Amino acid sequence: MILPYARNTISEIWSIMILKRVNAPIRDQTLKHLREAIISGRFEPGERLNERKLCEWIGSSRTTIREVLRHLESEGLIKVIPQKGPIVATITIEELKDIYEVREVLEGFMCRLFAERSTSNAKTALRRSLELLEGYVEKKDLKNQLTESNRFYEILTEGCGNEVVCSLLKSLHARISFFRRMSLSREGRPSQSVNELRAIYEAIEKGDADAAWAASTYHVREAKSSALQYLGSSCKRDLDS
């Protein structure tokens, strides 16, 4: 027998559970939308993010926007300035170098593990992703190239068989994606990048862990160089303007 007050309690809990199920996708979609806007350059580094305007633009509640902004702050994409509010995080050359140093170590190890441990299905998925990526590069479709580049690395991360490496790379994912956009914005870099990724895939396909590590390390160093040149050119344009 369930007492009346117990029925109310159960009903309230059930209502909360349903509400969370409804709200979670809204929050996730809002987070994805705003993250992509920052990574794609719609909002520039240092630009203030007005909560009311974001609500109107995305169509989400202020509560959801605030939750999403807190999450993006934890990812390093935004900073909250006292008396000013949230702004898109500015990028320093030192921060970029630090991120790429960590990325080189983690991704090199990830590719080594993937070459040693991945299944045939994972390798097939990697090959298909690479083929799509090559098509987007040929079409000069930067938006889809960025999306597929992220997918290529997701397959590597998920298939390397090391949860710690996976967790560490996921924590850096947003900032790496941001820097990737900078790197690939340079003339000629997309075709170079996809050739480097093909070298990684070919080493993995042969099961050559050392070659996979070397190809990944080379790719990250080249991406770092390209991003640094882009950032340097951007700073120079700002000074000249």
For the domain made up of 4-88, give the CATH fold: Arc Repressor Mutant, subunit A (1.10.10)
105 burial (CB, 10 Å; 0-12 / 13-18 / 19+) is middle
Q: Where are the domains of the chain?
A: 4-88, 93-240
* Residue 92 backbone phi and psi in degrees, to 5: -110, 155
Where is average pLDDT lowest: 31-35, 37-41, 122-126? 37-41
Answer whether 153's CB lies under 8 Å from 119's CB: no
Percent of the chain with pLDDT over 90: 59
pLDDT at residue 98 in the model: 94
Ordered alpha helix ranges (H), 75-162: 93-117, 120-139, 142-159
Average pLDDT over residues 107-115: 98
Which of the given ranges, 54-63, 151-160, 229-238, has the highest pLDDT on average? 151-160
Average pLDDT over residues 142-159: 94
Q: The whole model's pTM is what? A: 0.78
What is the per-residue pLDDT across 181-217, written as a single tens digit (0 to 9) for each?
888 888 899 999 999 999 999 999 999 999 999 999 9
- Cα separation, 201 vs 129, whole angstroms: 10
Assigned fold of 93-240 = Four Helix Bundle (Hemerythrin (Met), subunit A) (1.20.120)
Gap between the Cα atoms of 214 and 204, Å rounded: 11
- In the structure, what pLDDT confidence band is assigned to residue 35 with cuts at 50, 70 and 90? confident
C-alpha–C-alpha distance, residues 114 and 230, integer Å: 31
Does the structure show a pLDDT above 90 at 75? no
What is the band of 171 on the pLDDT scale with cuts at 50, 70, 90? confident
Contact present, 105 and 147 (Cβ < 8 Å)? no
Chain mean pLDDT for the chain? 86
